[in-house]
Amino acid sequence: MLRITNIKLSLEEDESLLKSKIARKLRISESDILSYNIFKKSIDARKKSDIHFVYSVDVELKNEDRILKLFSDKGVSKVKDIKYEYKRISTHGIKRPVIVGMGPAGIFVGLALARMGFNPIILERGKSVDERIADVELFWKEGRLNTESNVQFGEGGAGTFSDGKLTTSINNPRARVVLEEFVEAGAPKEILYTNKPHIGTDKLRDVVKNMRNTIISLGGEVRFNSKVTDLIIEKGHIAGVEVNNEEIIESDRVILALGHSARDTFEVLYNRGVNLIQKPFSIGVRIEHHQSLINKSQYGKFAGHKKLGAADYKLSAHFDNGRSSYTFCMCPGGVVVAAASEEGMVVTNGMSYYARDKENANAALLVGVNPEDYGDDHPLAGVEFQRKWERLAFQLGGKSYRAPAQRVGDFLEDRPSEGIGEVSPTYSLGVTMTDLRECLPEYVTDTLKLALIAFDRKIKGFADPDAIMTGVETRSSSPVRILRDESLQSNIKGLYPIGEGAGYAGGIMSAALDGLRVAEEISKIYLE
């Protein structure tokens, strides 16, 4: 099998032409091509007058060695057959590992351990995804928050109510198996090869359920409404967990896949002597534009082309004040959602359906904050820092889970907004037009102003006066890191912190990869 790169198709050309393009590039007959499949597909939009797709294709040919010699310097290479294997373990006499949390990290460490034969027990404080959806929608419609079943807590974790992006900057050989597991669970097959794969919140909900059923079919167990309220530690080694202040589950391998919002569980860990440190994260707002503006900026005259869909963006800049700003979790054709997990606080996030067909685009517009900003050296000071600004946003919004919002033009001119313009906010509980400087640190708002101007030079209209900023976005990542050693264990032996909540991931893909890595480390103990 050979991999052929840099094969181009215009927007008007059909993928059925790939075979002839391969033959033309290799100067062979189409009959010499035994089979082919798409390995990677991306959009090249650098020249707005010539937007096209670029493919890498894996091809099975007659006389592959001869072709390789002729074209090895022209984007033709031998495909390395890297097959991920789950190594089966003889688990007789081994206590079942316990996984705390069922976000991406928890699901994938659970899948891996189940495929290895460990029969893991997953404890999720929230509800199953269907029950969770009902609680979340009730909150979005009526402002009735369930603190144990919300956008942050429940089957699938915070990623369930997102765009379902599967991108990562990590060059990890495990990435392919993560995508394959998603496809096996019902995700669209194109995530295997698109440059910026996404599943969408609507499809992700079914995918999550299917993954749960796979874990159970392999001998695993999933318990909802099961909150870990204490750790059982004996002589510096984990011995089990307490669930719901009453039940003890014994285990000498406990995996903490908590997610970035398990603030009460962080306190349990701190009180039990688990090593925690402060970690930088980011704070800011959700910014909304008309999706048509983003499409026009990114695709020019081809904006709205059915093959291109809704355009996305990713922006970043560092400024002379020493602060950096960037966009995060961009949701094309999406909505801004209420994402609070504690009463009396307003938190925003973004979400897109698979079709990405809503009127607005939204993204987190964030500024990096450091432990020096927290005002305290306590390991959980970052949590209190988050809470401070979430409470202020709640009060500024009207103390009813309405969110404070401001037009970009007013924000740049330091005046409160009295109404909306051309862009309508999508936050379902409603917004209170106000001055966001009252619920964000001054150094954050100052940096956001610089960012708006800088990003407008990259995307014309980014600083459109009618664009809407809704606050606050505080859950970009965990403000805490649970320290672990080379074997991925904490200072408490047998306790494995993983994923976003532990400070080792920043999205669905990286959390899933961390889950696989930890499963491998646990298996090594029993393979030796």
Counting the structural domains of the chain, the total is 3
Looking at 449, 473, 497, the residue that finishes a domain is 473
Torsion region of 7: left, alpha or beta (phi above 0 gives left; psi -120 to 50 gives alpha): beta
357, part of any domain: yes
Q: Say what angle helices 104-116 and 175-184 make with each other, to 10 degrees.
A: 90
Q: CA geometry: angle at 340 spanning 160 and 152, to 5°?
A: 30
Looking at 15, 43, 78, the residue that finishes a domain is 78
Burial class (CB in 10 A: 0-12, 13-18, 19+), 16: exposed
Query: Domain with 14 in it: what CATH number?
Result: 3.30.70.2700
- Return the pLDDT at 73: 79
268, part of any domain: yes
For 93-114, b/e burial (b = at least 16 CB within 10 A) is ebbbbbbbbbbbbbbbbbbbbb
85, part of any domain: no
Domain extent at residue 237: 98-277+478-527
83, part of any domain: no
pLDDT digits (tens, 9 = 90+) for 355-367: 999 999 999 999 9
Beta-sheet strands, E only, within 356-448:
360-369, 403-407, 431-433
Closest residue by Cα to residue 230 from 247, 246, 242 = 242
Instruction: Give the range among 88-102, 290-304, 391-405 with minimum mean pLDDT.
Output: 88-102
The answer to whether 108 and 178 are in contact (CB under 8 A) is yes
pLDDT digits (tens, 9 = 90+) for 429-451: 999 999 999 999 999 999 999 99
Token pair of 400, please?
């009813």
- Return the pLDDT at 81: 75
User: Are 315 and 430 found together in one domain?
Assistant: yes
- For the cut 90, the answer to whether the pLDDT of residue 74 exceeds it is no
Question: How far apart (Å, rounded) are the C-alpha atoms in residues 140 and 213?
Answer: 28
DSSP secondary structure string, 37-91? EEEEEEEE-SSTTS-EEEEEEEEEETTHHHHHHHHTTTTEEEPP-----------
User: Are 46 and 144 found together in one domain?
Assistant: no
Q: pLDDT band for position 466 (50/70/90)?
A: very high
SS3 170: coil
pLDDT mean over 18-39: 95
- For the cut 90, the answer to whether the pLDDT of residue 467 exceeds it is yes
- Return the pLDDT at 169: 63
User: Are 434 and 342 found together in one domain?
Assistant: yes
Closest residue by Cα to residue 155 from 121, 104, 202 = 104
User: Are 211 and 284 found together in one domain?
Assistant: no
- For the cut 90, the answer to whether the pLDDT of residue 193 exceeds it is yes
- For the cut 90, the answer to whether the pLDDT of residue 93 exceeds it is no
pLDDT mean over 43-54: 95
Q: Biggest alpha carbon distance in the chain?
A: 72
User: Are 41 and 182 found together in one domain?
Assistant: no
Q: pLDDT band for position 71 (50/70/90)?
A: confident
- Return the pLDDT at 173: 79
Rounded to a whole number, what is the distance in angstroms from the first to the last CA of the chain?
35
Report the chain's mean pLDDT, rounded to a whole number: 96
H or E, element range at 238: strand 237-243
- Return the pLDDT at 89: 87
SS3 165: strand
84, part of any domain: no
pLDDT mean over 227-242: 98
Cβ neighbours of residue 322 closer than 8 Å, sequence gap 6 or more: none
Beta-sheet strands, E only, within 442-511:
468-473, 480-482, 495-497
- Return the pLDDT at 528: 62
Question: How far apart (Å, rounded) are the C-alpha atoms in residues 351 and 353?
Answer: 7
User: Are 245 and 113 found together in one domain?
Assistant: yes
The answer to whether 389 and 472 are in contact (CB under 8 A) is yes
Token pair of 95, please?
């206590």
Token pair of 437, please?
């400087």
User: Are 252 and 174 found together in one domain?
Assistant: yes
The DSSP symbol for 195 reads S
158, part of any domain: yes
- Return the pLDDT at 497: 98
pLDDT mean over 31-48: 95
pLDDT digits (tens, 9 = 90+) for 393-432: 999 999 999 999 999 999 999 999 999 999 999 999 999 9
Q: pLDDT band for position 69 (50/70/90)?
A: confident
- For the cut 90, the answer to whether the pLDDT of residue 83 exceeds it is no
- For the cut 80, the answer to whether the pLDDT of residue 488 exceeds it is yes
Rg (CA), the chain: 24
Q: pLDDT band for position 219 (50/70/90)?
A: very high
- Return the pLDDT at 172: 77
pLDDT mean over 232-246: 98
Query: Domain with 185 in it: what CATH number?
Result: 3.50.50.60
- For the cut 80, the answer to whether the pLDDT of residue 168 exceeds it is no
- Return the pLDDT at 91: 81
- Return the pLDDT at 326: 98
Beta-sheet strands, E only, within 65-220:
76-78, 98-100, 121-123
User: Are 165 and 226 found together in one domain?
Assistant: yes
User: Are 131 and 243 found together in one domain?
Assistant: yes
93, part of any domain: no
- For the cut 70, the answer to whether the pLDDT of residue 24 exceeds it is yes
User: Are 21 and 51 found together in one domain?
Assistant: yes
- Return the pLDDT at 170: 63
- For the cut 80, the answer to whether the pLDDT of residue 218 exceeds it is yes
195, part of any domain: yes
Question: How far apart (Å, rounded) are the C-alpha atoms in residues 221 and 109?
Answer: 13
User: Are 154 and 17 found together in one domain?
Assistant: no
Q: In terms of residues, how long is the chain?
A: 528
User: Are 523 and 507 found together in one domain?
Assistant: yes
